[in-house]
């Protein structure tokens, strides 16, 4: 009954946000780098923050430093969805939020190098989630898979967090998917959605790593990571400014050049991550070896895909230049 009430309340909150977004023109207009063609409401992913807030209130204030960090990073991301904010301000609030999360993990009591690794991984994952949020369903669908896997690990392998937190966040993601995981999305996650759900997943993943002392759990984000990191490498090889917008991610080529439906591409990424994790559970005693093997396998798939289909992207760029 609790989760049913949560879903209903979050559903109502999302509909209320749609009215506000429509009234204050918080929308996403298609441009040359977009994978959509219709004006769509932006920032629907704010529901992820409300999901975390609902758990925080009901639990009586569990994980207060994490919640404060999530509030800071969600607030600046939401403002950035409405109007551009200074980069220095975003950096200050992002790093402040991560420091609060590290404190909640108890990271400052561990060796200094764990802080460095956490900072690199967290910065990378937050940006990765932002980069990968480009088609309908991919952010919500991939996040739902990760939360489901984390719920299984928490229940069957190693308890590392209160299960109600994971289930409440799953409710929030399901509500978002109802409006986004479809051919014509009612809303996009926006920066606030991509960043906030990345922050939540980072908190859960960090709690798991700290509890087990095993960094091979990073395999949980290996599919996203392979696409994102190798796309950056590819752009560097092309002598491009990696800070500028583009449409060179593997999922973007699937949607734009191969014309696969967005929901199909999203399902491919979801299923791929499930398959990777099934293998990890089978060979968990060789966690680091398995992680390394998956990096090689996913890298090979990425390179093979680009060698075969990247020419389609180049042809698209030439047509645009010619026109």
Mean pLDDT by 10 residues, the chain (323 residues): 94 96 82 63 95 96 97 96 90 94 90 84 91 92 98 97 97 97 93 96 95 95 95 93 87 94 97 98 96 97 96 82 64
pTM for the full model? 0.94
Query: Distance of CA 17 to CAs 50, 67, 218, 293, 312, Å?
Result: 11, 21, 34, 44, 39
C-alpha 145/C-alpha 271 separation (Å) is: 9
Answer for the pair 302, 226: CB distance below 8 angstroms, yes or no: yes
Q: What is the pLDDT of residue 10?
A: 97
C-alpha 42/C-alpha 80 separation (Å) is: 11
Number of neighbours of residue 142 by Cβ within 10 angstroms: 24
Answer for the pair 45, 176: CB distance below 8 angstroms, yes or no: yes
C-alpha 247/C-alpha 156 separation (Å) is: 40
Q: What is the pLDDT of residue 242?
A: 85
Answer for the pair 144, 170: CB distance below 8 angstroms, yes or no: yes
DSSP string covering 292-312: HHHHHHHHHHHHHHHHHHHHH
Helices first, then strands: H and E counts in the chain = 12, 2
Q: Using alpha carbons only, what angle is made at residue 295 by residues 293 and 296, rounded to the nearest 5 degrees?
A: 65
Beta strands 40-41 and 27-28, pairing class: antiparallel
Number of neighbours of residue 34 by Cβ within 10 angstroms: 17
C-alpha 114/C-alpha 91 separation (Å) is: 21
Answer for the pair 119, 98: CB distance below 8 angstroms, yes or no: yes
Answer for the pair 134, 252: CB distance below 8 angstroms, yes or no: yes
First to last CA, the chain: 58
C-alpha 57/C-alpha 62 separation (Å) is: 8
Number of neighbours of residue 267 by Cβ within 10 angstroms: 16
Give the DSSP H or E segment for 28.
strand 27-28
Which residues have CB under 8 Å from 253's CB, separation 6+? 247, 305, 306, 309, 310, 312, 313
Of 124, 299, 293, which is closest to residue 226 (Cα–Cα)? 299
């Amino acid at each position: 009954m609790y989760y049913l009430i949560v879903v209903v309340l979050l559903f109502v909150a999302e509909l209320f946000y749609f009215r506000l977004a429509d009234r204050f023109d918080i929308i996403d207009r298609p441009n040359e780098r977009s994978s959509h063609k219709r004006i769509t409401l932006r920032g629907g992913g704010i529901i992820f923050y409300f999901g975390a807030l609902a758990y925080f209130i009901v639990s009586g204030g569990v994980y207060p430093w994490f919640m404060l960090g999530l509030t800071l990073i969600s607030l600046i991301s939401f403002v950035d969805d409405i109007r551009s904010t200074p980069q220095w301000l975003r950096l200050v609030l992002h790093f402040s939020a991560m420091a609060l999360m590290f404190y909640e993990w108890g990271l400052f009591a561990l060796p200094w190098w764990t802080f460095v690794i956490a900072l690199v991984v967290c910065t990378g994952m937050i940006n990765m989630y932002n980069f990968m949020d480009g088609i309908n369903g991919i952010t919500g669908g991939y996040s739902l898979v990760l939360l489901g896997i984390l719920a299984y690990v928490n229940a069957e392998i190693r308890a590392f967090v209160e299960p109600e937190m994971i289930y409440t966040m799953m409710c929030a993601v399901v509500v978002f998917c109802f409006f986004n995981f479809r051919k014509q999305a009612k809303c996009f996650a926006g920066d606030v959605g991509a960043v906030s759900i990345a922050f939540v997943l980072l908190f859960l993943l960090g709690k798991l790593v700290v509890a087990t002392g095993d960094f091979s759990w990073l395999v949980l984000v290996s599919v996203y990571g392979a696409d994102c990191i190798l796309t950056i490498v590819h752009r560097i090889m092309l002598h491009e400014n990696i800070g500028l917008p583009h449409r060179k991610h593997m999922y973007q080529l699937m949607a734009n050049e191969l014309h696969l439906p967005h929901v199909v591409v999203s399902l491919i990424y979801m299923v791929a991550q499930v398959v990777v994790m099934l293998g990890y559970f089978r060979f968990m005693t060789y966690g680091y070896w398995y992680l390394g093997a998956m990096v090689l396998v996913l890298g090979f798939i990425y390179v093979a895909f680009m060698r075969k289909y990247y020419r389609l992207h180049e042809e698209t760029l030439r047509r645009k230049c010619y026109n």
